[in-house]
Every structure is written in structure tokens, then in C-alpha cells.
Structure 1
Amino acid sequence: MRKLVFLDLDDTLFQSHRKCPSEDGLHPVAYLRDGTSHSFMTAKQQAFWRLLEDNATLIPTTARDLDALSRVDLPFRSWRIIAYGGIILTPEGQPDQTWLERMRQVSDGAIHELRLLLGAAEDMIERDALAARVRIVGDFDLPFYIVAKYKDGKEADLDYLQQELLQPLVDARSDRFRLHRNGNNLAVIPRTLGKEHAVRHLTERLRQEWGELMTFGVGDSLIDGAFMAECDYALTPRGSQLFAETLGKPLL
């Protein structure tokens, strides 16, 4: 039976230096465009990677686009799910055409409202002099979702942008959009876009090609729970956002 691991990357398999619990045994695995080391695996994460790599086919399932994934120094040899599920890459590194056409329709259906939301966020940032930046993220010439981040350590400015603008706007469009926040990552995502849709599609395809599968989902964010629920087993790091809201809660 083939074993597939759908594996989130940032804050699951590695994290920025400031998030590392200690300096001991850190190994750089992700880099900025200028070549600077940005994200690191702890000794336990390295052991976890070896455990997975030795026993399963690993499929990164990440919000990173192709450029950002190319700066992760890990040997992914099979399929890859990137851009929050907007793009599925074949083992040869090419977009799966069936999925690409489906997501082209998703992108076309959401771009007008995404631009309106982006404009409203840009206006608030300028008007209230917020230390934040906002942009539409996409890949392969397809815009997919909005992401906002704070600058200069001013997390309260991102909180303000979320609470006073983006959360109410998304709530008014809750049938079409969802809002995701995890640390310095505030995203407005069309409901037709999601890692879970891509995981379901790819699992069905590979089951037809390979026969019976055993699937594992590994992630850290609340939003990852949706794609993990598509799998036979789900794993999350201790101390993650998902852990804190589920297993980490005390029994009543």
C-alpha cells in the first residue's frame, strides 16, 4: 500500500530563527532571494523529516508559490501542492493542466472582489499610517488571495487592520471568502481556493493510478485542519496554532 504524506512546511517542518526554541542543532533549509538563511529545522524536525522520507511519498502542501518553494533546500521528488492549493505540480515540476484550468476559473471568479478588498486595505493603511503591507498573491499568472503582514514589529497595526476592516468585510462575504490569521500572516482566501480541494483532487487521481493509499496530513494552522481532514491520519506539532485550539485545550 502506497503511503502519502501531505506536508505543510512553514511552522510545521521548519520556522524562522526567532521561532526556534533554542540554538542547538539548527539546520538552515529555507532562504531569502538574496541567499540569506531564513528558516531552520530543529534536531527533532530533522529526525521527523528522515522518518517521513524513509517511509512515504512526501507531497509539500504549502501556501508558498513556486519561487518560494524553490528556495527550500529539501528533496521533494513527487507531486507538490503550492499557493494554498491553487497549483498542483507534477513530479516533473509542471502544473497539472486539469487543475490549472479549474483554478483559472476560480481566480477569474474572485479577482474583482479581491481587488476591491485590496483597495480598501491599502486605503486604510495609508490613511491611518499603519505599519503593514498588503498584496494579492498568486502563481503562474493567476491571482488567488490577499495577504497582509505587519512591519517593524508592530503587530497591533495588523490587529487593527483585521478587526476594523478585513474581518467585517469578510463576514459580509462569508459564503465566498474566509479569513485566516496565524502570527504575521493575515489572509483573505476565496472558499473555492484551499489546500483541501487540491489534496482531495490529487488523492483521487493517485488512487486511480496507484491503487489503495494510506494518507497522512501534517500541518500547524487552523486552516490546515481542512486538508488534514481529507487524510486517513492527521498530525500537528505540539505548540502549534492547531494544537492549541484542539489537543492543547484542557478537558472540562
Structure 2
Amino acid sequence: MRTLVFVDLDDTLFQSRHKCPTDDDLHPVASLRDGSVHSFMTAKQRALWRLLDADATLIPTTARDLDSLRRVDLPFQSWRILDYGGVILNPDGHPDAPWMQRMTQVSQETIGELNALLDLVETFIQSAGLSAHVRIIEDFGLPFYLVAKYRDDREDDLSRLQDELVRPWLAERADAYRLHRNGNNLAVLPRALGKEHAVRYLIEHLGRENSELLTIGVGDSLIDGAFMAECDYAITPRGSQLFEATLQQML
């Protein structure tokens, strides 16, 4: 039986130094564009990696784009899911053609509204004097979703943007778009874009090659719950956003 592990990266397998529970025994694993180390694995995260990698196919399932994934020093050798599911790379590193065709259509159908939202957010940031920046994430020539982040440790500015502008905008489009907020990351995604869609597609695709599949989903955010629910088993780190919303209530 073949085992597939669909694993989120940031805050699941590694995190920035200030999020690490201790400074002891940290292993550098991801860098910024300037080459400086930004993210680290703890000893327990490295042990989890070795456990999963020993007898399974690990498939990163991440919001990172290709450039950002290339700066992660982990030996993924099979399929890769990027951009919240916008891009699926095959084991040779090339985009899966049927999936790209599907997501090209999704991108073309949503970029008009995302660009309009981008203008609204930029105007709001300027008029309200917020310390935040916003952009539309693109990869392989396709725009996928909008993301805003706060600056200068002014997290409340991002919360204000979320509550006063983004939520009302989404309330009128709840059937077509959704919000993801986790720390310094506020993303507006088309509902047709999602890790869960890509995971479901790959499970079906690889299941045609090998009907005996065991699937495991590993993630930390509420938005990861959807792709983890596509799998036979689910793993989330203790203290994660997903843990706090589910298992923490059992304690």
C-alpha cells in the first residue's frame, strides 16, 4: 500500500525563530530572497519529518509559490502543491497540464474582482493611515489571490482592515470568495482555489495508478482543515490555530 502525506510547511514543519518554543537544537530550513535564514525546524519537527519520510511519499501542500518553495531546504521528490492549490507540480517539476488548464479558467474568472478589491484596500490603507501592504499573488503567469500583511508590529491595523473593509466585501460575495487570517497573513481566496481541491485531484489521479492508497494530511491553520479532511488521517501541531479550534476544547 502506498502512503501519501500531504503536508503544510510554514508553522507545521518549521517556523520563524520568534515562534520557536526554544532556541536550543534549531535546524535552519528556509531562507529569504537575500539568502538570510528565516525559518527553523525544532528537534520534534525533524523527528516528525524523519518518521513520515521513512516510508511515505511527502507532498508539500503550501501557500508558497515556486520561488519561495525553492528556498526551503527539504528534499521533496514527488508531487508538490503550491499557491493554496493553484499549481500542482509533477515529480519532474513541471506543472500538471490538466490542473493548469482548470486554474487558468478560475484565474480569468476572478482577477477582475480581485483587482477591484486591491484598489479598495490600497485606498483604505492610505486614507486610514494603516501600516500594511497588499498585493495579488501570481505564479506561472496566473494571478490567484489577494494577501495583506501588517508592518511595524501593528497587528491591529490588519484587524481593522479585515473588519471594516474585507469582511463587508466578502459578505456580498460569500458564495465565491473566502477569508483566511492567521497572524500576519490576511488572504482573500476564490472558493474555486483551495488546497483541498488539489489534494482531492491528486488522490484521484494517483489512485488510478494504485488503488491501495493511505492518505495523511498534516497542517496547522483552519484553512488546512479542508484538505486534511480529504485524507484518511489528519495531524495538527499542538497549539496551532487548528488545534485551538478543535482539540483544545477537549482538555
Same fold (TM over 0.5): yes
Counterpart in 2 of 1:166? Answer: 166
Counterpart in 1 of 2:73? Answer: 73
CA distance in 2, matches of 1:190, 1:39: 28
CA distance in 1, matches of 2:8, 2:138: 18
Counterpart in 2 of 1:11? Answer: 11
Residues 159-198 of structure 1: matches in 2 within 5 Å? 159-198=159-198
Secondary structure, aligned partner of 1:248: helix
CA distance in 2, matches of 1:209, 1:114: 37
Counterpart in 1 of 2:133? Answer: 133
CA distance in 1, matches of 2:151, 2:17: 17
CA RMSD of aligned residues (A): 0.7
Secondary structure, aligned partner of 2:148: strand
Secondary structure, aligned partner of 2:207: helix
Residues 58-137 of structure 1: matches in 2 within 5 Å? 58-137=58-137
CA distance in 1, matches of 2:249, 2:185: 23
**AA of the residue aligned to 1:143:** P
CA distance in 2, matches of 1:98, 1:113: 25
Counterpart in 2 of 1:200? Answer: 200
CA distance in 1, matches of 2:19, 2:117: 30
Return the offset for 1:211.
2.5
Return the offset for 1:210.
2.2
**AA of the residue aligned to 1:10:** D
CA distance in 2, matches of 1:78, 1:178: 29
**AA of the residue aligned to 2:180:** H
**AA of the residue aligned to 1:25:** D
Counterpart in 2 of 1:37? Answer: 37
CA distance in 2, matches of 1:18, 1:186: 20
CA distance in 2, matches of 1:30, 1:249: 33
Question: Is 2:238 the partner of 1:238?
Answer: yes
**AA of the residue aligned to 1:36:** S
Counterpart in 1 of 2:48? Answer: 48
**AA of the residue aligned to 1:76:** F
Residues 197-236 of structure 1: matches in 2 within 5 Å? 197-236=197-236
CA distance in 2, matches of 1:250, 1:51: 27
CA distance in 2, matches of 1:79, 1:22: 32
Gaps of 5+ in 2: none
CA distance in 1, matches of 2:192, 2:71: 27
Kindly provide the CA deviation profile for residues 191-232 of structure 1, in whole angstroms up to 9, marking residues without a partner as x. 000000000001100000122100000000000000000000
Kindly provide the CA deviation profile for residues 65-85 of structure 1, in whole angstroms up to 9, marking residues without a partner as x. 000000000000000000000
**AA of the residue aligned to 1:11:** D
**AA of the residue aligned to 1:198:** A
Secondary structure, aligned partner of 2:247: coil
CA distance in 1, matches of 2:193, 2:139: 13
Return the offset for 1:138.
1.8
CA distance in 1, matches of 2:177, 2:104: 17
Distance 1:250 1:233, change over 3 A: closer
Question: Is 2:247 the partner of 1:247?
Answer: yes
CA distance in 2, matches of 1:31, 1:237: 22
Secondary structure, aligned partner of 2:144: strand
Secondary structure, aligned partner of 2:248: coil
Kindly provide the CA deviation profile for residues 76-110 of structure 1, in whole angstroms up to 9, marking residues without a partner as x. 00000000000000001000000000000000010
Matched pairs, number: 251
